[in-house]
Amino acid sequence: MARIAVVLFNLGGPNSLEAVRPFLFNLFNDPAILDLPTPLRYALAKLISWRRAPVTRDIYTRLGGHSPLLDQTKGQREALERVLRERGHDVHCLIAMRYWEPFISEAVKRVAEIQPDQLVLLPLYPQFSGTTAGSSLVEWDRAARKAGLVVPTQRICCYPSLPGFVNTVARSTLAAINEVRAVAGEPRVLFSAHGLPLKMIQEGDPYQKQIVASVDAMVGAIGDPALDWRVCYQSRIGRMEWIGPSIREEIVKAGAERKPLVIVPISFVSEHSETLVELDIEYAQFARETGVPYYIRTPTVGRQAGFIDGLAGLVENALDPASSGQVITPEAPGFCEGCMCCPCASERT
């Protein structure tokens, strides 16, 4: 039986208040985040991390002094490994965080120790962006080359319409809609995703297109032709133009119309600062201040069975001999057409 290693990629988060500033530096020193010459990027990352550290520490103070993301990801790792072993695979699932411990370099060393026959790289980002999955896969390649790691490897690119993901979100969304209907009338559903600078989309990043694909699939799964829904984006920073509309703009509109809101995070698969603080505290308070009569947020998919089963299916598809050495995506052929920052691009050249 082939020995398999599956590496789960995620953003990472500070494990203490003292780690906040170096975590922010790692984030902003990534060329996928700040596309600047190395010396300038390094200096700017130092400045930004110094300026943002106090506010960010306040956020993590609300979360008990550390990010919950690693614990959330550990739960997903354990659940996925269990499902794959129940399906008869000799598998070891590992975690690789981009900006804090356990770093990607640590996962490379662990894979070398396991000595698998096959390796599957699985970003925990349903929608691909060069700033998330793309950055992690690039860093994996760099760290693997440096360590001399050579293993037959399959990469899962993106899965915005994966049924296990879509149906899990749709079920929780429908439950929230019914809850709101019972007490506050017909709600508006805001599908909220992490924002991205408009410039990146214009340069070919497929993220926004894939967000729309996720939402279209979720609305179809909910199956209510009269559903009132919008796509919006959160977590903007800096002065550049970002994709929109922003969640803040949509909350203001809902308040003016006295519309109750169901907030559905669709680019996050784990609970962390952007759901537990930004959505649950900051925007919930803003909604009350702007006249929204009812505000509820659905949970992220976490380790729910449907989502984990979907991930297991992706891994099994990647292990198919016909997929060897390929970038794997369950979407239709041509889904990433024209995107030169997506790893699918390397398969077309």
Among 125, 129, 134, 98, which Cα is nearest to 269's?
125
How many Å apart are CA 25 and CA 132, to the nearest integer? 16
Beta strands (DSSP E) in 58-187 are: 90-97, 118-123, 153-156
Q: Of 173, 174, 140, whose CA–CA distance to 155 is shortest? A: 140
194 is known to lie in a ligand binding site: yes
Question: Which residue is it, tokens 């505290």?
Answer: 281
Any idea which residue has 């770093």 for tokens? 103
Alpha-carbon distance values, 113 to 107, 121, 147, 151, 315 (Å): 10, 17, 12, 12, 21
How far is the first Cα of the chain from the last one, in angstroms, to the nearest whole number? 34
Question: Identity (one letter) of the amino acid at 80?
Answer: L
Vertex 44 angle, CA 41 and 47, to 5°: 150
| 274 is an annotated ligand-binding site residue | yes
Look at residues 205, 188, 196, 162 and name the one whose alpha carbon lies nearest to residue 345.
Answer: 205
User: Annotated binding site for Fe(2+), which residues?
Assistant: 194, 274
User: Annotated binding site, which residues?
Assistant: 194, 274
